[in-house]
Structure 1
Amino acid sequence: MIDSIDIKVLRAVYLLMTCKSVKKTAQLLDVTPGAVSYLLNKARKETGSVLFLRTKAGMIPNDIANELGQRYLSLSRHLSDSHQTDSSSDRKISICTDSIVEFLISKKVSERKNYPRQISFLPSEMEDENRLLGLHCKKVDIDAGTRLPPDSDIVQSLLFTGGMKILMAKDNPLANDEFTLKQWTTCRHVHWSRKINYLYDDKKQARRFNDLMDKRKVRVVSGDSLNMVMACAFSDHIILMPESLSRLIVKRLPMIEHSPPPELNMHVSYYLHYNHNAANDEQLQDIMRTLRNIFKPDE
């Protein structure tokens, strides 16, 4: 019975299993919630099962729904592998990442003549769940950002890792001074609302870091990293950024970077995430090599 269910129906079941919301499933499929309900009703008629239980935690799948989801993953992998032909060179490459990384990729790619594939940047997702869904349903080819939870269908490849730097304009009154904790608590800050998975040596260090983050005088909050950097470049505001990004920013904007006080010395890592089938797409791999070269440490 499961083998006869249309792949569109299987996809709707799989996405609902993953995001647990009819509304989110509709957004991912680019259809109305009513259309999702129609597809689910088709699956219920075919299987004779209700498939999902509505709870406070969202739509919870039963064993038959889980089986349908696995069927979709199996078919999706097979279809993806069978379509690795020359015609793939006409398909655009979709990248989901922070706007500052978009800028760096765009600049690098623009330096190459006759790049064979169109690159399409998608709005950066805040939630790990939505980032994984984008990769699973092939809406996103490459996700570059903080590390996502392990997933057997998604490859994770380290892009860069390192400490943090404090960025400010070259004409900031503090530009020529050693940056202190007192300055940290008196300066005006721009806050990056994106979730960042900081790495720390012990819990005491993490508590101290979080306490100092809470003591900032935040004046601007944004999820757009490029806008935040530009705001600091032309004001007396400061921002805490991964040093691998900061190193590249100061080469392109009238800004300087300071090492933070030891109490703020946290580490962060960025990863490239892509569907395992992309290993056979040479042009996709070429884009990822370009990305790695952008963040390659200076010799």
Structure 2
Amino acid sequence: MIERADQLVLNYVSQAADAAHGVLRADQRLDFARRLRARIEVERGGSQNARQVAKVLARFGDPAALVEREARRLAEAGVATARDPAGVGAGAVARPVSGPASGPASGPAGGPSGGGATRPLPAVTDEEAPPGVRAYRRIAQDNLGRRQGMGLPFAGLRRAAMSSANPMATGGRDARTIVKEHPRDTAALAILVLAALLVPFDLPAVAIFQVPLVVWAVGAAMVLFSDAWSVRDRFVGAGAPLLGYAVGGVLIGGLRVGIEAGMAAFVTQFFDVSGTMFMIGTGAGVLWLAYRLLDVS
């Protein structure tokens, strides 16, 4: 979990550095990336929770918007950038830039770094953030509100499906990226799917256990010991097949035989439908875990 949280920060800073190509000079890009990383660490407050770190990064907004904000700051200070090597205006004079309340400027423009005055990135607020940052923050807050409320249940999966046509839909992260970063977790989901697919086959039991149950137990153990999901999500995803088998079998089997048919007929109907309900429960659990995995990442 710690590695995943740090990777989110590194990915975000890398995106900002990439966006700065052609906008800031090399030394300015390094200085900007360093200050951005430091500001993120301050806002992060030492948290190693991937969900919390993702929320912090969402507050910062689009990395490209932060680059434009930095370019405007340097332009206002009369400092030449890669976009405007000659500086702002023919008679522009470089001048010191006062640092914000969060920290003093490190020096005047044209100092030793050659990239103008450096200062810690200020906390991103709605009042001071540029329009692009505010727009992306509103989108992130709306998405969080929908997840916490009764919003569309599989918006994360739909965004992942759209990412090949529109990389901005998921910030450049799609299903293939998730598989690369979570090989054990995706393997657990594949094992659960395999358990459901084995139900229709009349395979010999292992000791006293049916093969689909054994395969499910392996996948469920991998899910329960994973740190990619919350405890609730792990139990929901791993327990959905058993819930479908037991509760679904009882309900559907009871409805099919009625009250007066007797226990023998009910047991027969239970075993006829419980396998199908196990498969349905497995599909629901895997979809939920996949959605949560994409949602967290």
- Structure 2 length as normaliser, TM-score? 0.21
- Structure 1 length as normaliser, TM-score? 0.21
Question: Comparing both chains, which one has the higher relative contact order based on Cα–Cα distances under 8 Å and sequence gaps of 6 or more?
Answer: 1
| Structure with greater proportional strand content | 1
| Structure with greater proportional helix content | 2
Larger-Rg structure = 2
